[in-house]
A = this chain, B = another copy of it.
Amino acid sequence: MNIIDQVLAGEVRATARLLRDIDDQVESVQSILKALYPHTGRAYVVGFTGSPGVGKSTLVDQLALKYRREDKTVGILAVDPTSPFSGGAILGDRIRMQRHFLDSGVFIRSLATRGHFGGLTRSTNDMINVLDAMGKDVILVETVGVGQDEVEIAHSAHTTIVVTIPGMGDEIQAIKAGIMEIGSIFVVNKADREGSRKTVREIRNLIDLGMRRREENGGWEPLIVETEAVKGRGIEELHQAIEKHKTYLFSNDKGQLDDVLRKRATNQLVETLKDEAFKTIMARLQVRGVTIETLVQKVLEKETDPSSLVQRILGEELR
């Protein structure tokens, strides 16, 4: 059985190898991804974003257990771009694997963006597609941080959950409204801590502010859920909130689902085009003995500036 059939059959070992190859940006994965592509589109993707330390992993793990109790298979992708140097993601995988050790219905994999030149969004999308083709019913994608990459990864999800904790709230000013707009659901985790109600109120106010753009958002009013993930409290409510959003996506006539899929495809296409154009051009230059280091040297010596240099390269390489 070749790797494509193995992944489609849901084989863990073959899938793990393929995901590792995607992470390592191995060239040969492209033809495999191509063959898997027609088998994608079945899984429901839930994205989690929020600052480090708000308890995303615990929340994701609890939700995974909940889905397992419903006999749904679960894929977990933990995107940790804060570990570009440490390879810490592997350690993290091991620790988390233990929690789901005896359950073959859960597949966990971390993505640590080992690639030097970006490609995070693209790798994440590729991995989502693999877990989808592998037959997972639900894919939980966890991203650290709230940067541009995380916003882009959010576009890959059907439902996006923004996680926060009490005490972060009083600094979330109106100016931070941007991140508010990517959330389908807001979770205040560690809700046993002082100030949880206040944080909920603040998020509510920000949502109300944002709802002035209600039409743009297609009318979905984000839900707020308080959780205490370590104790499993609020997981039932979170699960219900996700189901509500899912029902909304699939039932309304404004093409919300279509919009989600379109954003994801656009995202993936743009990232792939950028990455591949860069790689292909650098490979061609390399043949002529020009490396990224040679080019950088020219810029450092102020022989040229980055933009002019790039214009010259594109002038030579493009038809």
Contact = CB atoms under 8 A, between A and B. Distances in A.
Contact of A148 (B84, B91, B280): B84
Interface stretch (A64-72, A231-239, A241-249, A306-314): A306-314
Interface in A264-288: 265-266, 268-270, 272-278, 280-281, 284
A112 B313 CA distance: 29
Chain A, interface size category, equals 35 or more
Contacts of A88: 174-178
Nearest to A305: B37
A273 B296 CA distance: 12
Q: Is the interface of A mostly helix, strand, loop or mixed?
A: helix
A103 B210 CA distance: 34
- A34, A281, A306, A317, most chain B CB atoms within 10 A: A306
Please name the 8 residue pairs, one residue from A and one from B, whose CB atoms are nearest each other, closest first.
A147-B147, A83-B178, A53-B171, A37-B305, A51-B51, A81-B148, A145-B147, A277-B277
Interface of A: 30, 33-34, 37-38, 41, 51-55, 80-86, 88-89, 91-92, 95, 112-113, 117-118, 120, 143-152, 167-172, 174-179, 181, 213, 261-262, 265-266, 268-270, 272-278, 280-281, 284, 292, 295-296, 299-300, 302, 305-311, 313-314, 316-319
